[in-house]
Amino acid sequence: MIVPTNKLFEHAYGKYAVGAYNINNAEQVMGLFRGNVQSKAPFIIQISKGARSYTDKHLLEAMIRAADEIFPEAVFAVHLDHGDEATCMDCIASGFYTSVMIDASHESFEQNVAITKRVVDAAHPKGISVEAELGQLGGVEEHVKVDEKDAKLTDPKDAERFVKLTGCDSLACAIGTSHGAFKFSGSQGLHFEVIEEIQRRLPKFPLVMHGSSSVPQDEVQRINAAGGKMKGAKGVDEAQISRASKMGVTKVNIDTDGRLVWCRVHREAFRDNPENFDLRPPGKIFMAEYAKYIEHKNVVLGSAGQLDAVRAFLNG
């Protein structure tokens, strides 16, 4: 069942975080739905600009509608990840997405406000909520690369002003994470003092943590042992993710970890079965392994086991 993104946030806020998982193909969709249904967790399925053009945006939409029928127990929202203004408007017009992210964080504060406000004005009359971004994460996003030294943590005072000026429904904040598999060179981690101060200024306002993959070290080792080159890959500590999930970080974005599962499964499958040329055997393993990963992650986020409570909340 597709439900409004902001309803999921209302239920989760301060108690747990909703996992927002990126998808690109059918195997990811199947693994994702299985993992969430098996762990009884509400979730957000998110689609980036790159994902929309990888095969075709209509194909993704059709796969999600089909998965909704295959898994009638699933409760989820559909979100555009890292949209520009034109893509946000396209998703709003499509009527399929329950929320969009407008990412104008690389613009000046004033420009970011103006662009975000235009998207909010188009989205709200249709009941679609808007995630905006303030501050700059390190790492690579599709349309912008930010060096670690140029990454800027979100200023809590600006965050308060930004939310009031734009009317956005959730805010992606730079709190120490970055996109991709190489997040930290040492023992750096989340800036809880920034999360606390933003929450103090914006009580009950859902925050979004991008770059939340934990880059499991056993996964990295297995990838390297099967021919990969991912030396030094490092992600966010899961204990820190759990702590943030109870502090108003209500949406936790994960893409890289899913790619690592895919990479490990396929590298090992072709290493161990060099005579195989069929896509289905590794595909089947991937769907099962990705579902297992999602189940585990939902326990970390606290969303596992929330499905009955969410349904009661939505009906009440």
51 binding ligand G3H? (CB under 6 A): yes
- Convert residues 180-219 into a mask of x (bound to Zn ion by CB under 5 A) and - (unbound): ------------------------------x---------
Residue 142 interacts, among Zn ion, ligand G3H, ligand 13P, none and using kind-specific CB cut-offs from 5 to 8 Å, with ligand G3H
Rounded Cα–Cα distance for residues 278 and 262 (Å): 16
Catalytic site residue 81?
Answer: yes
The span from the CA of 128 to the CA of 280, in Å, is: 37
Instruction: Determine which residue in the list 11, 34, 179, 183 makes contact with ligand G3H, applying CB under 6 A.
Output: 179
Q: State the burial class of residue 280 (Cβ atoms within 10 Å of its Cβ: 0-12, 13-18, 19+).
A: exposed
Is 224 buried (19+), middle (13-18) or exposed (0-12) by CB count in 10 A?
middle
Q: Contact positions toward ligand 13P, by CB under 6 A? A: 22, 81-82, 179-180, 210-213, 253-257
Asked if residues 122 and 89 have their Cβ atoms less than 8 Å apart, the reply is yes
With 0-12 / 13-18 / 19 or more C-beta atoms within 10 angstroms meaning exposed / middle / buried, residue 206 is buried
60 close to 25: Cβ distance less than 8 angstroms:
no
Cβ nearer to Zn ion, comparing 99 with 306: 99
User: What is the nearest approach in angstroms of ligand G3H to the Cβ of residue 259?
Assistant: 8
245's contact among Zn ion, ligand 13P, ligand G3H, none, with CB below 5 to 8 A by partner kind, is none
Give the residue with the Cβ less far from Zn ion, 250 or 253: 253
- What DSSP letter does each residue of 157-219 carry, written as one string? HHHHHHHHHH--SEEEE-SS-BSSSB--SSS----HHHHHHHHHHSTTPPEEE-S-----HHH
| Partner from Zn ion, ligand G3H, ligand 13P, none binding residue 267, C-beta < 5-8 Å depending on class | none
**Could you say which residues in the range 13-42 bind ligand G3H, by CB under 6 A?**
22
- Token pair of 121 as six digits: 């004005």
Position closest to Zn ion via CB: 210
Q: Which of 34, 79, 82, 267 binds ligand G3H (CB under 6 A)?
A: 82
48 binds ligand G3H (CB under 6 A): yes
In contact, 94 and 56? CB cutoff 8 Å: no
Paired strand residues for 130: 100
Owner of token pair 């939340």: 212
Please identify, using beta-carbon distances, which residue of 253 and 306 lies nearer to Zn ion.
253
Residue 131 interacts with ligand G3H (CB under 6 A): yes or no? no
Quick one: which of 312, 311, 305, 300 has its CA closest to 17?
300
When the beta carbons of 141 and 169 are compared against ligand G3H, the nearer one is 141
Using CB under 6 A, list all residues that contact ligand G3H. 22, 48, 50-51, 81-82, 141-142, 179, 255
Using CB under 5 A, list all residues that contact Zn ion. 210, 253
Q: Which residues are catalytic?
A: 81
